[in-house]
Chains A and B, each alone.
Chain A
Amino acid sequence: MAGKKEEANIKAYSQNFTTMTPGPFAKKMRTCVIFQIIRFIIINLKMLVVVSKSH
């Protein structure tokens, strides 16, 4: 099979044909601990701003 594994769930002519799908790099970054520690800090800071804007 020459196709890419991560694209295999998209089915021709079905309701999911129009969606985007993550490639291996995007998937890898989700569990890359160093990258996620940085994201953890950024998401927390953003959430804190949302919380402070909400009170």
Chain B
Amino acid sequence: MARLVVLGGGVSGHTAATFAAKWLGSAHEVVVVTPNAKWNWIPSNIWVGVGQMSKEEVTFDLAPVYAKAGITYKQAKALSLNPEGNATSNKPFVTVEFTAAGKEGTTENIEYDYIINATGPKLNFGATPGLGEGSNLGEHTVSVCTADHAVHASHELEKCIQKMKKGERQKFLIGTGHGMCTCQGAAFEYIFNIEHELNRAGVRDMADIKWISNESFLGDFGVGGLHMKTMGYAVSSKIFAESLFTERGVDWIIGAHVNKVESGKAHYELLDGTMGEEEFNFSMLIPPFAGVGLKAFDKAGEDITATVFAPNGFMKVDANYAAGAYENWKASDWPKTYQNPTYSNMFACGIAFAPPHPISKPMSSPNGTPINPTPPRTGMPSGIIGKAVAHSICDRILKGENAPLHEASMANMGAACVASAGKGLFNGTAAAMTIYPVVPDFEKYPGTGRDTDYTFGEIGLAGHWIKHILHHLFIWKAKLKAGWTLIPE
């Protein structure tokens, strides 16, 4: 019997574990190690953050789902990997620390034949003074990165709405809280949901809403922007984004590295080296992401973390980490199999793998401060990669250790993104966007780097309905309800 251990039960790890359990059957064991008792459909946290959904609607208990799937579930967080075993055993193992009530703090070494690191991001609030400590959100801003954060954000938003109803003008500052953030899409969706909610509450005219981000142009989204086909033109996402911001009366600051947050004030440095500050009554700033801080040790107990992980804490995979300057970047730099180059039974998927380099053009201020988005690994790529990695491992377990690995490069993969504004079925609209491929391939698609037949975007009710359907479909799928395998990632 072989054992596959999946670290992280989020979008990517849950997909990998559930497919692996289905493909391997009861002859082999799938273990999931994840610290939370609940699964969270993170994209819908946006609606929780404006009070349009409850935490319960975007989360569910993992234990019954894993019991149904025959998956061994450990409510714990991984601390370190010993891919060569230790002095007494050659068997690789992972050390985990339990987080479940009653077992907190106890540790266990779990041996494995294959391991998937799908631990997602550490929400690195601590990288910006005043934004938080370590992975904990501070007191000056709100977040929608977890369901609990989003509940808190909705309460703070409600307080502002009440103040505006009493005639007190409020300033909203939404965006990224550091020069090296990703996930601009989430902040983009949140700012327009807030704008929609303020309209609905009849207080829009009492609010000044401003965007602040590390993008060098509006609409970069961490993918270097994209061109969408419309009315016979391939139009840059910059034009669309600026148009939407203008239409909704939302001002913007771009090329900004937020370097300090205080009560009611964010300090920032711009790409041209100038410093500025922005006051706010309500602010949601996405933190930068890092790896969750797993360590690795060899058989002798020597620290080999730098061999297994990149300096940002994400796991090294089959990417070209030596591409150098952006002029040399190629679509083929991006990983295909997500196998660790040192240990062939170790894989990483979703946000946990180390990308070879950004997608957006790297930039820095004259003071040397890097200010550019880091590459996003959104839900669809995270799910597809998780499934491909599970497929590879299952083949190796069932067909032999030389079975070819499955490939899922982000340079051959699209992503569908739907950014809603509002939740009502007939009054909410959404910007629905697809991008193909996520990583531009300028050799295959000279000029825009993307296939403009499949890279498109538009605003309307249709996208909004799709967002609603996706919410229910993905939760249905994650709960492994009837037909779950038919729902694409």
By a beta-carbon cutoff of 8 Å, the part of chain A in contact with chain B is: 6, 9-10, 15-16, 18-22, 29-31, 33, 35-37, 39-40, 43-44, 46-51, 53-55
Contact = CB atoms under 8 A, between A and B. Distances in A.
B246 A50 contact: no
B414 A54 contact: yes
A9 B460 contact: no
Nearest to A31: B461
B483 to A, nearest CB: 16
Contacts of B454: 46, 49-50, 53
B380 A46 contact: no
B462 interface: yes
Contacts of B460: 29-31, 35-36, 39
A9 B246 contact: yes
The secondary structure that dominates the A interface is helix
A43 B430 CA distance: 12
B239 interface: yes
A44 B418 CA distance: 12
A31 B465 CA distance: 11
The secondary structure that dominates the B interface is mixed
Given A47-B434, A50-B436, A55 B239 contact: no
B239 A50 contact: no
Interface string B291-305: 000000000000000
A50 B320 CA distance: 26
A49 B416 CA distance: 11
A6 B244 CA distance: 12
Contacts of B281: none
A51 B459 contact: no
Contact of A22 (B247, B415, B463): B247
A37 B460 CA distance: 10
B462 A36 contact: yes
A12 to B, nearest CB: 13
B436 A33 contact: no
A36 B458 CA distance: 11
Contact of B414 (A21, A22, A53): A53
B243 A43 contact: no
Nearest to B469: A44
B456 interface: yes
